[in-house]
Structure formats: structure tokens, C-alpha cells
Structure 1
């Protein structure tokens, strides 16, 4: 019984340790960047194991808040090269290895 409680505690600690974002590149204004990170965090909490739905939620939220033509890619182990509007790009990691790229097309 004690081992089961210790395993549960360890799992809670792991979840807490990886629920933060690491911004690798951005040229967004600070306010836009913070809102985009918050949108990503809420989408990943809502759709824990479904990256496609999380990306759609982030895209729809960005379209409503900052105008249309936003694109979002969520996944692990991908590379990219995009043309984007100036001051409208964010590339970050969330929860360890989950990468997110958000950009607005010209």
C-alpha cells in the first residue's frame, strides 16, 4: 500500500515539473507572447493526448484574439521553415518534448 502511494506522489511531481514552457524563438511583442503561451497551456491541459485538437483550439483562439491567418503546429521531433509576418512568430516547448510553432502568414 505504501508503494502505491509513493508511485502516485512521484507521478504528481513529474506532472508539476513538466508543466512549463520554454520559448526557443519569438519575435512577438511581450503581451502577445504571454497570451499565446497561456492559450497553449490551457489547450494542452484540455486536450492532454490529442495534439490535433490542441492545435486547432490554439489556432481558433489566436484568430479570434489577433485576427485571421494564424497557423499552429504541435508535435514532437519536427523541423520547419516558414515565412511569417514580422512580429508574429513563436516557437516553444511545453511539458518537456512537446513543440509548438505559431505564426501568422503574410
Structure 2
């Protein structure tokens, strides 16, 4: 029984970690949802290359919401940024991967 429960718990944990956990956001709801979906798509597509994922997110955000978007993706970083109001999203994906997206012109 213990082994079966352990596998079930592990599967539940992995399933929970496939959804983004928003740590902070001041974006309007529609923009936040679109950005979250974009971040999840990029992180899944480039799961072994954070630089490519960040580039994809930045280029898409620049096209969709105007230029000067910045993206940082990683597991161990701190930051202090200046950003435009209603243009910041900080989330976790996959448990330990953090994504910070902001606009600063």
C-alpha cells in the first residue's frame, strides 16, 4: 500500500506543478491571463533552455502589447525593478521555475 500511495502522491504533485502560481501581478485580468498562457507555453516548449523561452515571451509581448517588455526566467534570482503600472507579472511554473515579465519604457 505504501508504494502505491507514494506514486499517487508524486503524480498529484507533478500535476499540480503544471499550473502557474502567480506570486504578484498588477496587470489587468485579460492581459494577465494571456501572459500566463504565453509563459506556460514557452516554458513547456523550451523546458531545457530558459533563454529561448524568455526570448519567445519577450518577442510575443512586444508584438502584442507594444515594445520594451523584459523577461527573466530562472530558479535562483532576486530582483528589484522599475516598471510601468499595470505591467508586471511574477509567477512560478513547474514548482521551482520563476518567471518575471514587466514593461519599462
Q: TM-score, normalised by structure 2?
A: 0.86
Alignment of structure 1 residues 1-12 onto 2, 5 Å:
none
Q: Which runs of 4+ in 1 moved over 3 A?
A: none
Q: How many residues align?
A: 98
Q: Which residue of 2 aligns with 1:20?
A: 19
**Aligned partner of residue 43 in structure 1, secondary structure:** helix
**Aligned partner of residue 54 in structure 2, secondary structure:** helix
Question: Could you list the runs of 5+ residues in structure 1 that have no partner in the other structure?
Answer: 1-5
**Aligned-pair Cα RMSD in Å:** 1.7
Q: Which residue of 1 aligns with 2:101?
A: 102
Q: Which residue of 2 aligns with 1:74?
A: 73
Question: Could you list the runs of 5+ residues in structure 2 that have no partner in the other structure?
Answer: none
Q: How far apart in 2 are the matches of 1:101 and 1:67?
A: 17
Q: Which residue of 2 aligns with 1:38?
A: 37
Q: TM-score, normalised by structure 1?
A: 0.85
